[in-house]
Amino acid sequence: PQEGIQPWFISKPKCTSASVGQNVILSCAIAGDPFPRVQWLKDGRELPPERILQSDDVFTLILRNVQQSDGGQYQITL
């Protein structure tokens, strides 16, 4: 039986900073077989799925009209 391919990043999100009121888009592309479960985190806590878009292997987190409370460390995990 085939064991598959370990998940890996085709492209990773870039470090980004924004001013209050701006929109921020973070995206990355991921591959693997079977396709991995992906989570976006802010300061280690999972973000709600309605803030995340997926198109094939590209996952995008959109932050609209950012406020100071949106500040923190965002990451994506496989």
Q: Convert the pLDDT of each residue in 38-75 to its tens digit.
A: 999 999 999 998 889 999 999 999 999 999 999 999 99
Per-residue pLDDT band for 2 (boundaries 50, 70, 90) equals low
The answer to whether 49 and 38 have CB atoms below 8 angstroms apart is no
CB within 8 Å of 1: residues ≥ 6 apart: none
Distance CA 65, CA 33 (A): 36
CATH of 5-77, one of 1.10.150.20, 3.40.50.620, 2.60.40.3080, 2.60.40.10: 2.60.40.10
Domain boundaries defined on the chain:
5-77
Q: What's the pTM? A: 0.84
